[in-house]
Amino acid sequence: MIYGDKLQINPITSSFADGLRISRTVQNTGSSSINLGCSRTAVTGGIAGQWTIVSPYSTYTNNPLGLIIAPTIQVGDNTIGLQISPDCSKLTFNGSKVLIGNGTNQQILLGDGTAKPIIYATRTDFITTPQKFVKLCTFNPLLQSNCISVEFQVRGRSGFGLLQFHQITSTAGLTNCNYHFQPNYQYCMQQAYALYFGTGEARTCELWVQLQVWINSVEIDYTNSGTVTAPISNILTTLPVDALPTDYTSMITLTPNLQLDNLTINNAPFTQNGLLKINPTSSDYTEGIRIARSSNGNCSGIYFGCNLNSTSGTMEGQWNIVNTPDGQLQIGVN
């Protein structure tokens, strides 16, 4: 109905298709639009301050058959206004995505409109007894000077644990590694292992964790990686087993540390107020302070009264307790 200078539509059914209906200029392929603030004297074109709500024709460059809400004179600029793709899977505002179709609650929408996964892979298990071992992933050979990095989190009723593993590679294949291992607060994941198979260019590595008895529900998440991902395979695809493989060539038991093998967070000391205290948790005589032989001189030692500003060498009055390369224990003073 038209009342003076007003047009009112009174639908008579409850259908969502009732109301103001504007067809396309060509069935299925043409455009359809509403213009607000248009010229009072012209029936085409646009003026300053005019807004358009339009579904462009099928061959239009900018969002064909989608929906655009923008100033009329800028409808052709895909960096201006609000746009919805024809399949409603993408919503952009001023050129930036604000919605990604088929997105999940495990994705972060970044400022440039792309999405980044929060979790790349996950598995959930229920562990009672006996203890189980789970393979996290496999590092396949990479014959170049590079590195492969992964991060896993293990969540259970005793908090969460973290394993960051950094595999170094060269033209000869997999070489050294660094890692940061933080066990769960109690139970759950307390041990982790790097198992190496083969040698030279064919050498591979498998990461494993031990899940203790009666941890019940546990979730392992693959949460991050470096930029080199092609050599990583078998990510959380293996069911828990009762024992580690035995056909490996070598094994590294990953012990808890603050950051990496030889670094601490912000280079913080291992001591508090100048003191280091160790509380062993078993009656095994091998518990306490353990010092391996050096990879260079094959020695192992404890030094009392050493130089405050040096990490090597001797000084007058320094006492030494040394396990020599031939297995002798020597105690002496400089």
pLDDT in tens, the chain (334 residues): 666 677 888 888 877 778 888 999 999 999 999 999 999 899 888 999 999 999 999 999 888 999 999 999 988 888 889 998 898 878 888 877 666 556 555 555 555 556 666 678 899 999 998 899 999 999 999 999 999 999 999 999 888 899 999 999 999 999 999 999 999 887 889 899 999 999 999 999 999 999 999 999 999 999 999 999 999 999 999 999 999 999 999 999 998 876 665 555 555 555 656 677 777 777 777 778 888 888 888 899 999 998 887 878 888 999 999 999 999 999 999 8
Number of residues written out for the chain: 334
| Amino acid at site 66 | G
What is the pLDDT at residue 268?
53
Residue 316: CA atoms inside 13 Å, Cβ hemisphere, count?
A: 0
Residues 6+ apart with CB under 8 A from 64: 56, 57, 58, 86
Q: Where are the domains of the chain?
A: 6-101, 121-254, 269-333
Cα(132)–Cα(210) distance, integer angstroms: 6
What is the pLDDT at residue 262?
52
pTM: 0.55
Which tokens sit at 322? 């040394």
